[in-house]
Amino acid sequence: MNKSERVRFIISHLEKLYPKTPVPLNNQNNYELLIAVLLSAQCTDERVNQVTPSLFSKANRPDKMVKLSIDEIYKIIRPCGLAPQKSKAIFNLSEILILKHKGEVPSNFEDLEALPGVGHKTASVVMSQGFGYPAFPVDTHIHRLAQRWGLTNGKNVTQTEKDLKRLFPRNLWNKLHLQIIFYGREFCTARGCNGTICEICKTCYPKRVKPVKTKK
């Protein structure tokens, strides 16, 4: 298969497996989404979904969050990785949302990425899932799969995002990003597939024998 054929097969195969793509992180508004995505860094979505009900029952808006202390936030989110840094970021970004954005989550990359603890990937998820803006958030897992499937040269997540946006139609980005995550968790896991085992890897590279060494 050439690259165009791989792209068409991947789109078709993922659509058959995942015609619906529910948002993995439970949330009721864009502020909750922003906080949940921030918490998901170096933490599983499952654990985030276990932690956020307690947090959001106390504070599901910036004005409520700043009434909690950083220590109170920390005690709730402690099961998540990097909890000390995240608790400070949650409190500080909530203050900024109140002071600069009237308590609302901004709907553009520049303002989102200026918030404490919010990088490009987090901003992309919020823009995609919260505002419906075409984005292609790339985490290390999507980065690894894109390498296995021959869609990028694998230098870094920034380059992978550019390559995926170039290869896939813009109107599919938001759904595809979730479909790839779901597929990676179920079939093309870090330990369960080395580039030669899952259906996409085998179909795209039927003659591949050696495992794919992915680059971070």
Instruction: Tell me the domain boundaries of the chain.
Output: 3-20+136-204, 30-131
> Please, are residues 40 and 117 in contact by the beta-carbon 8 Å criterion?
no
CATH class of 3-20+136-204: mainly alpha
Which pTM was predicted? 0.93
Catalytic residue among 16, 64, 67, 121: 121
Chain segment 43-79, per-residue pLDDT in tens: 999 999 999 999 999 999 999 999 999 999 999 999 9
User: 163 catalytic, yes or no?
Assistant: no
For residue 165, give the nearest of 155, 156, 154, 176 by alpha carbon. 176
Chain segment 159-185, per-residue pLDDT in tens: 999 999 999 999 999 999 999 999 999
CATH class of 30-131: mainly alpha
Q: How many CB atoms lie within 10 A of CB 22?
A: 9
Catalytic residue among 86, 139, 163, 175: 139
Q: Is the dihedral of CA 53, 32, 139, 135 positive or negative?
A: positive
User: 155 catalytic, yes or no?
Assistant: no
CB within 8 Å of 186: residues ≥ 6 apart: none
